[in-house]
Amino acid sequence: MRARIALIVLALCLSTMPTSHAGSPEKLENVGPVFGGVYVDANVSGNSSNNLSELPAIVEDYTATWCTNCIAVENALKDIESQHQMQTYHFHRFIGENEDPLGSQEGDDRWIERYDQRLPPTAIFNGTIRQIGSVPDGDSLQDDYNLNLANSLNLGVGSSTLGWVVSNNSNPIVTWNLVVDMANFPDDSEIKSSLWIVEKLAYFPDGGNEEEYYNKSVRGIIDLGNSTYGTMEVTMPTAYDGDDLQVHLIHEVILPQAEEPEEEPQVSKEDDEDSLPSLGLVAVIGITMFAAAIVQQKQQ
């Protein structure tokens, strides 16, 4: 009898514990896809164009030079690169007590605005699937990531084009053009384009995870607005070291804002007292019954 009561109390207590998405792929419903990835070397004039059907998958990795768990995620992403047409962008945590010299203010601002949380390590696939942490949901992180990348965007017919003009006397000039059928996205969606300035390789030996060399770090983001084409003079961020910056053209689908749900009528104090007890109260009652049963048994 005592064992049965104990099991009931344990079940009640466990029912009040919070759940977490950590380790499990999570489909993001409130944000649109991220696609693009055509790029040029920032030091020379050039252009790059690709059909939408041939664009690489975009993987965003939120990381930090002090994050030891991040190494497992980055290694898993490297392991599957040869199996997929993909590009990985590493966003280093910049805001907070443990600032990362490879991060940027605009990178963190975008991450907060789009994905709410900033928990390294976090990997996001095509802007639509998020997986937090370094503990796999399946047999391995590689298996998890392969499954995440199997969810292609199916953007239809179109193209993404980037032009880049470098001058010794002025800031570089960017031109961009996106041809895409908006019927592939929910009604009233918009496209936001931006340049992700990427440092190919940075040497930082003082990181807590002791990696020393860091690939594809996003050093800055330049907003190009909501037009699918245009020309703009841009101010480039500086590389952490060396002179190996790249300019990547990225497009994000901005979904229409969901209508605010109607507010439910507030429950008065009297009504609240007549309502069913909360899970926390049920657990307390169960524990109390358990204690009373033990006392009664001792008295007998």
The pLDDT of residue 118 is: 87
Its pTM stands at: 0.80
| Domains in the chain: boundaries | 26-254
Helices (H), the chain: 2-15, 70-80, 105-115, 141-149, 269-274, 279-299
The pLDDT of residue 276 is: 38
Fold of 26-254: Glutaredoxin (3.40.30)
> Quick check: 115 and 107 in contact, CB under 8 A?
no
Coil/strand/helix, residue 241: coil
Report which of 143, 103, 123 is spatially closest to residue 22, judged by C-alpha positions.
123
The pLDDT of residue 235 is: 96
Report which of 198, 243, 254 is spatially closest to residue 221, judged by C-alpha positions.
198
Contacts of 244 (CB under 8 A, 6+ apart): 199, 200, 201
- Return the H-helix or E-strand segment holding 15: helix 2-15
Tokens of 274: 């007549």
Q: What is the pLDDT along the chain (300 residues), one digit of tens a residue?
A: 444 444 433 333 333 333 334 589 999 999 999 999 999 999 999 999 999 999 999 999 999 999 999 999 999 999 999 999 999 999 999 987 778 999 999 999 999 999 998 899 999 999 999 999 999 999 999 999 999 999 989 999 999 999 999 998 899 999 999 999 999 999 999 999 999 999 999 999 999 999 999 999 999 999 999 999 999 999 999 999 999 999 999 999 999 987 666 666 665 555 444 433 444 444 444 444 444 444 455 454
